[in-house]
Every structure is written in C-alpha cells, then in structure tokens.
Amino acid sequence: MQQFAIRHHSFGKPLEVLQLEQIAQPEPQAGEVRVRLEAATINPSDYGMIGGSYGRLRELPAVAGREGVGVVDALGAGVTGVAGGTRVRFPGEAGAWQASACIAADELLVVPPEVPVEQAAISFINPPTAYCLLKKIVDLQLGDWVVQNAGNSAVGLSVIQMAKAFGIKTISQVRREELVEPLKAMGADHVVLEGTGWAKGVAEITQGAPVQLALNSIGGESAIDQIKALGDGGTQVTFGGMVGDKVRFPTRFLIFNDVRLTGFWWDQFAKRIGTAGVREVMAEVYSMMADGRLKLPIEKTYPFSEYKAAIQHDGQPRLGKVLLKP
C-alpha cells in the first residue's frame, strides 16, 4: 500500500524543497507497532531541520516534521501489552508529516485519553521544554519572578500557564501590543513591549523582588534586556535564537551581578534522562492538560494537500499553533 508524506530531497527553504509524495506504507517488524497519524504540528525547529541548520539532521530524502500524535493501528510479531487504537506520540524520528510510521513497542509514549487530540499533538516539545525551564534549571520558590521573551510562543504560553499553577510570577516580553491582554487572560502577571526600556523599571514591576530566571529564545537586544533585569545571582537560559543577532558579552553583569548564562535543548535533555524520565515529565504535562491548567490555542488545521498554505500561515503573526492532518 501507498501513503502520503511531505518530504524533502535536499536542504533549503520549506516552500522550495518540500514535496507531497506517495511512499510505501511501512509494516511493523517483530517488536514494533505501526502508528497512524491523527494530527501533526509545525514547529520552528522543523524549519531548521528542513533547512539543514538544526543540531540534528536526518538522512535525505527525509520526511519533515518532528511532532504529532496518532493511534496504534498494527502490531508486529511478539508485541503484547498495547492495544490497537491506543493514542501515542507519533514516531518523530521517522518524520511526523506522513500518514503512518513504525516504532519499537517499548518506546511508545502513551497519551492519556483525557487529553484532547489537538492538545496532544502539540504536547511533546514545547510544554515539556517549558516545564523543564521552570523546574530543572533554578530552584524557584513560591512567588519568585521569571522573565521570558517570545511570550506568545507555544513555550511562552506554556510557561505562563505552568508558572501560574506553580505560584511563580512572570514577566513576558512581546513585540505587538495586541498580545498584551490575551496573555494576561491566560495568566501572565505582567506583559512588556520589546524596545520600550522596560528593564529599567523592573524593580517597580516586581516591587523590589529580584528576577531569578530569564528564559531567552530570541537573542539580540531582547536577551540583553533580560540580563539587565536579572537580580544578583540570576540565571539566563537560552533555548532558541529566533533573530540570529549577536549578543554582546555582558561582562559588567557577569562580574558585578554574578549573572549566570546557560543553555537548554529538550532533545538532548530527553536523551540524558531516558524513556522513564521523559515519561515522568510528560505525566506532569498531561496532568495539567487533562484538568485545564494548560491549554494552548490552535490557529488552524490544514490537510497535507494544503501544506504550502499551512507553512505560509505559520509565518504570519498569530497566537496559536498550525496543525497538519493526512
């Protein structure tokens, strides 16, 4: 049998190198299951993998996409303990923008039935990143302050809602004024506009409490503002670089304010903690998704046949995620 997949045979700009193709439907081998895709998402890191700039690349030709959710629809020989129809993470290593893929049964990440399908589709990269940024870098206490840029991103929205659940205060940097009220409605304590010199008045925002943690996924001047806003001994974590601009080495703040700079990459962290560790993190994420403490907006869903329109839409100003379905 044949199935549809969105693939690229060279690295480059998505609209130039991606193609909707028919490929052979895989059959599960001994110890494997086949997963049928329900919904996949478009992530910024997908563009890095398609373009050839990401930290980990696939052999060409490659199916695009890293994140999606599906159901088990075929079992290989010797597989027990998993039933057909079980909702699981789609095998991202194989490429998520295809109708089905196979994975070893003991590597499955099961999604609780209480989690809505569209939320499950976007649960495997951004929400666990947000959880780890808040829980695994600095020992934050009730009422501590965190600043983040790209507050309207999926990680940013996850940080806002998770921090509220944990009793942590947030300052979220955004570039568009129309985002201020929607973020506050989701639980943001304070929203600031980039380029307004907000860092100079951070003590007034926090009523004198130090900012313990800064979450940077943009770089450039946005990251420098965060460093200025950090309290003594504060930590900035960089997990993305949207603008690609150089950041001046903050000598003064490193010396006189004892500011710490570090990085975080979920892929690497997940490998280090192993399958059991990933399942523990995801259990926390799913607990919040199941009871509504974490709910991420969905912008629009496109069929595979309209992948070009989906990618164009993803590049426009928006608040929610763009999804793809076979």
> What are the tokens at 133?
């940024």
Neighbours of 48 (CB within 10 A): 17
* Contact criterion met (CB below 8 Å) for 88 and 71: yes
Q: Measured between alpha carbons, how far is 133 from 265 in angstroms, rounded to an integer? A: 10
131 is catalytic: no
Q: Measured between alpha carbons, how far is 293 from 287 in angstroms, rounded to an integer? A: 8
- Phi/psi at 219 (5° precision): 95, -170
* Contact criterion met (CB below 8 Å) for 6 and 12: no
Dihedral sign computed on CA atoms, order 294, 262, 281, 33: positive
Q: Measured between alpha carbons, how far is 164 from 170 in angstroms, rounded to an integer? A: 8
State the catalytic residue, choosing from 47, 54, 131, 307: 54
Supply the residues annotated as catalytic.
Answer: 54
